[in-house]
Amino acid sequence: MAANSRTLEITVISAENLKLDRKPIKKNSSVTVRTDTNCQFRTTDMDTDGGSYPRWNEKLVLDLPEHSRYLTVEVQCKTSYAVRTVGTATIPASDFVGGYVPEGYLHFLSYRLRDHRGERNGIINISVRMKVPEMYACSSSTTSSHSRMGFPGAENNNFGGGVATGVPVWYGAYQKKHY
């Protein structure tokens, strides 16, 4: 993994209601996941018997550059003539990076696929987890009676240098009402 990228584990689970030329597909579908820079992509194996409701349940590992803003998920179908695109979904990186959840959190996501005309064409179901570097991973030592979650704090002996974890709290819930 490069210093300016994050490693993602993307599990392509399944798709629903896939059509090609407004007819349900019969078989031979696969999924390609790309970064917005198009320099990296991974493709699942072909589902040969799922029809318009294929299942892959396949894990793909991809490096997402720090400056990437989205992933593209493209479902294809192999016909007797060529490999054709069934539908595409653009997934914002903000859906699984940042926010109030830990970096190793497993996100289950479903997105509407659009065909080349921009019309609705099925749904793709995936899960995404950002792999956490070992130095940030949660402690799972059996010698420790406390489990840790968060990021290492500053190495300052005056304050212990432990782990800092933030929890969002709605301030209005703790205000006293004055009558």
CB 30 within 8 A of CB 17: no
Is residue 26 situated within a structural domain?
A: yes
What pLDDT is recorded for position 141?
A: 43
Q: What is the mean pLDDT of each run of 10 residues along the chain (179 residues)?
A: 78 94 90 86 91 93 89 92 92 86 88 93 94 60 44 50 58 57
Domain that holds residue 42: 5-133
Is residue 141 situated within a structural domain?
A: no
Is residue 156 situated within a structural domain?
A: no
Say if residue 107 is exposed, middle or buried (CB neighbours under 10 Å; 0-12, 13-18, 19+). middle
What pLDDT is recorded for position 99?
A: 77
CB 52 within 8 A of CB 17: yes
What pLDDT is recorded for position 51?
A: 86
C-alpha span between 18 and 151 (Å, rounded): 42
C-alpha span between 65 and 44 (Å, rounded): 21
What pLDDT is recorded for position 138?
A: 52
Is residue 101 situated within a structural domain?
A: yes
Can you give the pTM of this predicted structure?
A: 0.71
Is residue 68 situated within a structural domain?
A: yes
The CATH number assigned to the domain holding 114 equals: 2.60.40.150
Kindly state the tokens that stand for 78: 């192999």
For the chain, how many structural domains are there in total? 1
Is residue 153 situated within a structural domain?
A: no
Is residue 145 situated within a structural domain?
A: no
76: nearest Cα among 118, 122, 36, 107: 122
Is residue 147 situated within a structural domain?
A: no
